[in-house]
Amino acid sequence: MDGKILIVGFGPGSYEHITVRAREAIQESQVIIGYNTYVDLIRDLLTNQDIVRTGMTEEVSRAQKAVVLATEGKVVAVISSGDAGVYGMAGLVYEVLIERGWRDGDNPLVEVIPGISAIHSCAALLGAPIMHDACTISLSDHLTPWAVIEKRIEAAASADFVIALYNPKSGRRTRQIAETQRILLQYRDPKTPVGLVKSAYRDRQHVVRTTLDDMLNHDIGMLTTVVIGNSSTFYYDELMITPRGYQRKYTLDTIEQRLRPGERLKPENEPWSLNAATGECWTPTNPQSSSVQSGMTSPTGPTIRDVATSDISPREWASAALNCLNRAEKTSHVSAALSTRMPSPRPSIFEIAVSPGVANKKFNSVQLVLLANLAGDEGEIEYTTAHQLILRTVTEDPEHIVKCLRDGGMTVLPVGDVIKVKACDFCDGEKHEGIPFAEEISRRLAGIPVEKELRIGFNGCAMSCYGAVNEDIGLVFRKGKFDLFLGGKTTGRNATPGQRVAEGIPAEAMPDLLERIVTHYRENAFPDERFHKFFARVGQIEGFNHRDRPQTVTADAVCGS
Ligand code: SAH
């Protein structure tokens, strides 16, 4: 009679997470071979099987025993926690068989039964941290040279993989995890979310949510899996989440989507895709190709151009490439049409924000006629709270539309998650001292892509009648100087004005200071993180400290008491 080896992954440790096939396999086997702790974990599933228990370091003798017994005709289950093919027994059993000249289909038959590996069970407890490209690295250097492990950590870190560290630490192996942290910190922000999950779905389950710089201050052991986020992973309450990128193409808080299903796969709507011919963007010999938006202020941060002329370290490569991608990603499909890099060959809906100017609030009739003509029968014009009209029109030639609008004396800007500068009308131009500053700030910053819409409000006098202090960033021009407000919460039932962080800033210093604040936000904000949340999280921007707001007290006002 032919024997059989069933190599069973029984998941993290709880009965509910063992697959039906794994249960059947355990029940149909005559012999169970496994490490003591694992046999105890599945004890309730056993009927009258013989049990061969071994210590943890005896994998080879376990595999040999299984092969010998199965060759004699027994049905043998070799059990591994998680998935038997992930640092488990599957490979070793095959290797022992191969040493004996066994061929697939020979006696004994082999079946590998998949299980839920630690990366998946631990991720589920943390939230959704491995939503994007991820890898596993075992820090055990008992069988793998440390030089190889180190190289893999470095490669995964530089390529921005989410990383699950298996076998992170044991009684004797304590330096590896510290060394790993050191390497990761060369590539990732110290505040990168890190989840430590010990004994997932077992009695002593313990989950710690921490950060890359703090992770060693917590207990990490043999039963811990360490999940390191990538550069966009964030915490939301207790949840560790890595965005998949849906927000690049979809609006997640409305039912209606700007792109219709058929449009979502078009190259012009995926400027980051290979088919959108962005490959040249990566080539250091072609620095011009890194420019994304013609006629717009270049976003800050290192560019391909910066690294093109120097020795390029892998880290510089990675950050230049990410910058490049980020810029492409943050360019909406409409502003992508403005791009010199990706002219839109086919008619698509072109969307652009239009205003008479930063201080001027009045469209003249010629401009209105021009707008109506450009919108045509199929287009539309929407008025918004940002002192802009949004023109949507079907066109093959967006650049022509932009030119017509500019020639007509209008200011045009991309829509979506960009910086919006909204100023008052300076009392119809009477209080004009602040106008040059408003114009300079608008010229430098308006339209730059950001994680989440960033509104900068500008008021030309202390009356602040246009509500600048209620915007993400508020500027009030007073007697040749500025008062600065940061972190207004612009919407919601708990909307609040920004915190007044400074008064009397010399007017000439304001545009540079504002640019530095915005750059700090652009470079460090989490995906979708609005400015007020960012300010609260980082605690300080350009020396201005965030102050927690007093808690709102809800008083039950009972009538008559
Ligand atoms: N075959 C297993 C991995 C075995 S290597 C699997 O696929 O999950 C052993 C390592 O796996 C441990 O050091 C730990 O990092 C991880 N691990 C296994 N089970 C775990 C659990 N229940 N909770 C957390 N980590 C676990």
Give the chain's domains with CATH numbers.
4-116 (3.40.1010.10), 119-241 (3.30.950.10), 266-331 (no CATH), 347-415 (3.30.70), 418-430+438-539 (3.30.413.10)
Name the helix (H) or strand (E) containing 163: strand 162-166
Instruction: Give every CB contact of residue 223 below 8 A, 6+ residues apart in sequence.
Output: 198, 199, 202, 204
Beta strand extents in 224-299 (DSSP E only): 224-228, 234-236, 239-241
> With a 6 A CB cut-off, is 136 part of the ligand 1 pocket?
no
From CA 499, how far away is CA 473, in angstroms rounded?
9
DSSP 453-483: -EEEEEESSTT-TT-GGGSSEEEEEETTEEE
> With a 6 A CB cut-off, is 220 part of the ligand 1 pocket?
no
* Total count of residues recorded for the chain: 561
Q: Return the SS3 of 302.
A: coil
> With a 6 A CB cut-off, is 202 part of the ligand 1 pocket?
yes
Q: Return the pLDDT at 322.
A: 53
Question: Among residues 412, 410, 378, 408, which one has the least CA distance to residue 392?
Answer: 378
Question: Among residues 217, 218, 193, 196, which one has the least CA distance to residue 205?
Answer: 196
> With a 6 A CB cut-off, is 235 part of the ligand 1 pocket?
no
Strand 419-423 with 454-459, pairing: parallel
Pocket test for ligand 1, best of 81, 93, 138 (most atoms within 8 A of CB): 81
Q: Return the pLDDT at 58.
A: 84
Pocket test for ligand 1, best of 7, 121, 166, 226 (most atoms within 8 A of CB): 166
Strand 193-198 with 224-228, pairing: antiparallel
User: Which residue matches tokens 């007073």?
Assistant: 478
From CA 369, how far away is CA 112, in angstroms rounded?
72
> With a 6 A CB cut-off, is 87 part of the ligand 1 pocket?
yes
Q: Return the pLDDT at 328.
A: 45
Q: How much distance in Å is there from the Cα of 457 to the middle of ligand 1?
A: 52
Instruction: Find how far residue 356's CA is from the centre of its chain.
Output: 36
Q: How much distance in Å is there from the Cα of 512 to the middle of ligand 1?
A: 51
Predicted TM-score of the model (pTM): 0.54
> With a 6 A CB cut-off, is 363 part of the ligand 1 pocket?
no
* 395 touches 347 (CB < 8 A): yes
Each residue's pLDDT tens digit in the chain (561 positions)? 689 999 999 999 999 999 999 999 999 999 999 988 888 889 889 988 999 887 666 889 999 999 999 999 999 999 999 999 999 999 999 999 999 999 999 999 999 999 999 999 999 999 999 999 999 999 999 889 999 999 999 999 999 999 999 999 998 899 999 999 999 999 999 999 999 999 999 999 999 999 999 999 999 999 999 999 999 899 999 999 998 877 666 667 667 776 777 777 776 677 667 766 544 443 333 333 333 332 333 333 333 333 333 444 444 544 555 554 454 444 443 333 333 233 333 457 889 999 999 999 999 999 999 999 999 888 899 998 888 999 998 888 888 999 999 999 999 998 888 999 999 999 988 889 999 999 999 999 999 999 899 999 999 999 989 999 999 999 999 999 999 999 999 888 889 999 999 999 999 999 999 999 999 999 898 877 899 999 999 999 999 999 987 665 555 555 533
Instruction: Give every CB contact of residue 372 below 8 A, 6+ residues apart in sequence.
Output: 381
User: Which residue matches tokens 């918004």?
Assistant: 384
> With a 6 A CB cut-off, is 122 part of the ligand 1 pocket?
yes
Nearest CA to ligand 1 atom 17: 118
